[in-house]
Structure 1
Amino acid sequence: MLDFLKRIVFTCVVTAGFSEFAFAETSACPEETVISSIQFEGLEHTKSRVVERELLNKAGSPFSAEKFELEKRRLQDLDLFTEISAGCEGGNLTYHFKEIFRWIPAPAGKTTERDGLMLGLALANLNVLGEDIRAEVQFRTSTRHFLDNNEYAFYASSPYLFGTPLGWNFEFSHTDSYDDIRGYYDNSWLWDLDLDYKFMPHLYILGTLVGRNLKNAAFLPEFGAGFAFDYRDSKIDTRKGIYYEYMMTHVGAGDNQDSDCDVSDGESCEGMGGENYWELLTDARAYYSVSRFVTGATALVRYRPGDVKFYDYFSHGGVNSYRGRYGDSKRLGAHEALLNLEERFILLDRQPASILGVNFFYGVQLVAGLDGSLLWSSGRPGWDDYEGAIYGGVHLVVPAVDRLRFEVGYSPDRGEPKFFFGMIEKVSTSRWRSR
């Protein structure tokens, strides 16, 4: 693996010397050219309205290269194209696209604190009916407990619903796994619908509705609402901007089942009990770029007043939470705060590529940062509840899963490096890592 990464880095350093930020070439249109018409080329599977709603340059207005750069970031967010460029002939503005592959029969994977690396099979369509709807079915099993800890899932999502800016994400999953961190057998079914409505250009109204059926516990409903201010230049691979979200969610309804079993004996617990608590979530992110350097600062805080059972306690340790230790049963809590300061160097920006007619993109980033972790169950957190670590690594930017993360973390309290592999941005996986 180390030799593989060395070859990638060497290749990227050489390539970077000849191509800077070459994912999409700059528009060939002269500034202030009045746009008489707009046309699209290369949309074989994507409907034109999917692209039109992301454009800032409009017919009848002067062309702006600055708007075009913002358009490229928004169009990259769709995760549908490997190349985006524009050219003018007179006042006719033409956008050129090369579409990414739609169907992905491929290995599926993710990393969790309790199961470690999970691998399996997936079949995904990134652009159902050409409407920017992503649908995916997956089977995954833990490499640590092969074919014993399993997960089956169906996902579907889109940023629009029937032409309105109502983003939605639906998940239906089944988990069949022993949780050796919290000490119980997780045989559960989950239905999850998350909504975000673009109320104003940078203001979103959020909602969530969840049903969870956990064996030996009560049925656990969840419902919540919140808001988010989003001033990022892109939701994927953000370079500049801020994001702030506040969400209030109620979990469970409580029941009369009381759990008095010893969860450390390795046996499943009969009557683990229901829950009845509120979750107050704050998610803040800020990014700033100078040349190839991107600085990011994030904070995720979840406070849960009420009756939280052991099976929903947070655990810190791993690529999705705190990179100074591996997850274990020694550090659990009902409330958490994850703090991060990260510096990224864009070694190779997103590059289009094609193999046997399959279009995709790739990029390489070097990262280094600081992780802070607060985990507690009652009262106010103190220094005994805090841990800190430094980390560094290489991120490969790829389609569908956003990025592959190879990282090494070190905590002075632990005294030895920890090696991690993960997928997708940590700011995303931190939100749903317990599922």
Structure 2
Amino acid sequence: MKRHFFTSAVIAFFSGFAFADIGACPEGTVISSIQFEGLEHTKPRVVERELLNHVDEPFSVEKFDLEKRRLHDLDLFTSVSARCDGGTLTYSFVEIFRWIPAPAGKTTDRDGLMLGVALANLNVLGEDIRAEIQYRTALDPLFDKNEYAVYISSPYLFGLPLGWNFEFLVTDSYDEVHDFDEKSILVDLDLDYKILPHLSLLWTVTGRDLQDAAFLPELGMGFAFDYRDSKLDTRRGVYFEYMLTHVGEGDDSDSDCLVETGSSCKGMGGENFWELLTDARAYYTVSRFVTGATALVRYRPGDVEFYDYFSHGGVNSYRGRYADGVRLGVHEALLNLEERFVLMDRQAASIAGVNFFYGLQLVAGFDGSLLWNSGCPGWENYEGAVYGGVHLVVPAVDRLRFEVGYSPDRGEPKYFFGIIEKVSTSRWRSR
């Protein structure tokens, strides 16, 4: 599922006061009953569906460790602990703030850093439903690029394991990478139905109204195998997704000269192509070292217009260069190998009654980039870079990323600031 909760209020969370953990139950204690403490805004069924320890079974510390990862993955709690009073297993929770009226931010390869205002509720009706409205604008030049957005998502629908994400986005900006004035409206719905514990069916339905181009519908279906210990800050496991999407309904105005660029012009016609997406990720942890390897490949046979060409360069794609209109392509492959050192693991904290958590990680890695237009890619389509940086793990936005990349072909370091995991932002970085 996409993640769009960009509130920069979390930048203030560099310091705080840690909560003391409650001692866990002894291994093998037979559970006679289960109760919860601290669920002031969250309904019990939201946590019950994540539990692995059950009544009339012996308590397992290993299961509790997995439960804790799953409950942290909800992004609703700063800390989760357990204790036993006889056979009664008590889970104790400290909830994260719900309402976030705060500055908002977004980083894209095309627009760079955008800031604005946002109002978000991370737990609507106590059902783990996230809702947010935002206004964002570019900083250089100020107010030259503007976005208005509404995001709503949840991992369940009416008690069913049907994750859903709804997005409404209005864009009014000049696209310097593709060289045209973008005025567009995007409506998107993504569904993720878990048919087995580690297997989901995926659907996407999107409508894009791009000024000076035809209406661009998208319809896609796929599947995902997910064996990760957590979707947020993954430490161990693998993920594989395959998605087939059709975009457009025919090119009905490609011959018209609708966008002037100097002495030439570009046709803003409709599109008609398939996208075959493969997203593979693998993670392994030894002590405080987390190794991750990821690959994102998107192949697009058919009629793809210039405004949807991929670009590589920036914190969300390839950290060896800044985004520009020189390197564009119909198809793409993004490869990454990253090593993380957990300098400070997740810490619960509170300031003025606002509960949150934070963690700190050092990162270093390698980016590989392939962009091509037809046939099979060659070495002329490839670029590589190394990078390093610091990640601050925080609520709502997953992480804040400060990174420096270096490509031998470019010969000088590139500096980046990003929000959310790159494996997520790479999927929707152009919007």
Q: CA deviation at 1:148?
A: 1.6
* 1:359 match: 355
Question: How many Å separate the matches in 2 of 1:361 and 1:266?
Answer: 51
Q: Distance in 2 between matches of 1:332 and 1:381?
A: 13
Q: What is the DSSP-based 3-state SS (H/G/I as helix, E as strand, rest coil) of the residue aligned with 1:30?
A: coil
Instruction: Report runs of 4+ in structure 1 exceeding 6 Å deviation.
Output: 266-270
2:79 to 72, 78, 83: 83
Q: Distance in 2 between matches of 1:199 and 1:76?
A: 23
Residue of structure 1 equivalent to 2:252: 256
1:107 counterpart = 2:103: yes
Task: After superposition, give the CA deviation of every residue in 1:66-112 in whole Å (9 maximum; x if it has no partner).
Answer: 00000000000100000110000111000000000000011111111
Distance 1:58 1:78 in 2: 20
Match of 2:278 among 275, 282, 289: 282
> 3-state DSSP class of the match of 2:270?
coil
Q: Is the 8 A contact 2:78 2:355 kept in 1?
A: yes
In structure 1, what is the equivalent of residue 193 of structure 2? 197
* Corresponding residue SS for 1:427: helix
Q: Which of 383, 392, 395 does residue 396 from structure 1 map onto?
A: 392
- Distance between the aligned counterparts of 2:233 and 2:106, measured in 1? 19
* Residue 317 to residue 259, structure 1, CA distance change in 2 (3 Å): farther
Q: Retained in 1: the 8 A contact 2:80–2:93?
A: yes
- Kept after mapping to 2: 8 A contact 1:229/1:243: yes
Verify the 8 A CA contact 2:214 2:252 in the aligned structure 1: no
1:27 CA drift (Å): 4.8
Q: Which residue of 2 aligns with 1:133?
A: 129
CA contact (8 A) 2:188 2:205 kept: yes
Q: Conserved in 2, the CA contact under 8 Å of 1:184 and 1:268? A: no
**Contact 1:27–1:68 (Cα < 8 Å) also in 2:** no
Q: Distance in 1 between matches of 2:278 and 2:58?
A: 40
User: Aligned with 1:138: secondary structure?
Assistant: strand
- How many angstroms apart in 2 are the aligned matches of 1:262 and 1:325? 30
Shift of 1:23: 8.7
Name structure 1 gaps, 5 residues minimum.
1-7, 16-21
Going from structure 1 to structure 2, the CA distance change for 1:26 and 1:43 (only over 3 Å counts) comes to closer
Q: Could you tell me whether the CA contact under 8 Å between 1:31 and 1:65 is conserved in 2?
A: yes
| Alignment-derived partner of residue 384 in structure 1 | 380
Aligned-pair CA distance for 1:61: 0.5
Distance in structure 2 (CA, Å) of the matches to 1:417 and 1:181: 21
Where 2:346 maps in the other structure, the secondary structure is strand
1:331 is matched with which residue: 327, 340, 349? 327
Please tell me whether the aligned partners of residues 281 and 303 of structure 1 are also in contact (alpha carbons under 8 angstroms): yes
What does residue 403 of structure 2 align with? 407
1:349 maps to a residue whose letter is D
Q: Cα gap change, 1:372/1:23 in structure 2, threshold over 3 Å: closer, same or farther?
A: farther
User: C-alpha offsets along residues 27-75 of structure 1, whole Å, 9 cap, x if unaligned?
Assistant: 5211111000000000000000000000000011000000000000000
Structure 1 196/23 Cα, relative in aligned 2: closer, same or farther at 3 Å?
A: farther
Which residues in structure 2 correspond to 1:10-21 (within 5 Å)?
none
- Count of aligned pairs between the two proteins: 419
Contact 1:216 1:269 in 2 (8 A): no
Matched residue, 1:307: 303
Q: Which amino acid aligns with 1:77?
A: D
Q: Residue type matched to 1:66 in 2?
A: E
Aligned mate of 2:164, from 140, 165, 168: 168
Q: Which residue identity does 1:93 align to in structure 2?
A: L
1:147 aligns with 2:143: yes
- Matched-pair contact (CA < 8 Å) for 1:184–1:269: no
> Secondary structure of 1:126's partner?
strand
Counterpart pick for 1:372 among 365, 368, 381: 368
TM-score by length of 2: 0.94
Matches of 2:215 and 2:265 in 1, distance apart?
16
Assess, with a 3 A threshold, how the Cα gap between structure 1 residues 402 and 272 changes in structure 2: closer, same or farther: same
After TM superposition, the score normalised by the length of structure 1 is 0.93
**What secondary structure, in the 3-state scheme, does the structure 2 residue paired with 1:412 have?**
coil
Residues in 1 aligned to 2:83 and 2:205: alpha-carbon distance in whole angstroms: 45
**Amino-acid identity (%):** 78
Look up the match of 1:273. 269
The more displaced of 258-267 and 400-409 is: 258-267
Give the match for residue 63 of structure 1. 59
CA distance in 2, matches of 1:107, 1:211: 28
Counterpart Cα distance in 1 of 2:198 and 2:20: 25
Opposite residue 135 of structure 1, the aligned amino acid is A
In 2, distance between residues paired with 1:416 and 1:100?
A: 41
Deviations 1:261-311 (Å, cap 9, x if unpaired)?
485726997861000000000000000001111000000000000000000
Structure 2 gaps of 5+ residues are 1-11
For the 8 Å contact 2:259–2:267, the answer to whether it is kept is no
State how far apart, in whole Å, the 2-side matches of 1:128 and 1:335 are.
39
From 344, 349, 367, the counterpart of 2:345: 349
SS at match of 1:289: strand
Aligned to 1:216: 212
2 CA distance for matches of 1:319 and 1:267?
33
The separation in 1 between residues aligned to 2:267 and 2:348, in whole angstroms, is 54
Distance in structure 2 (CA, Å) of the matches to 1:101 and 1:233: 24
SS in 1 for 2:232: coil
Instruction: Compute the RMSD of aligned alpha carbons.
Output: 2.0
- Which SS does the other structure have where 2:290 is aligned? strand
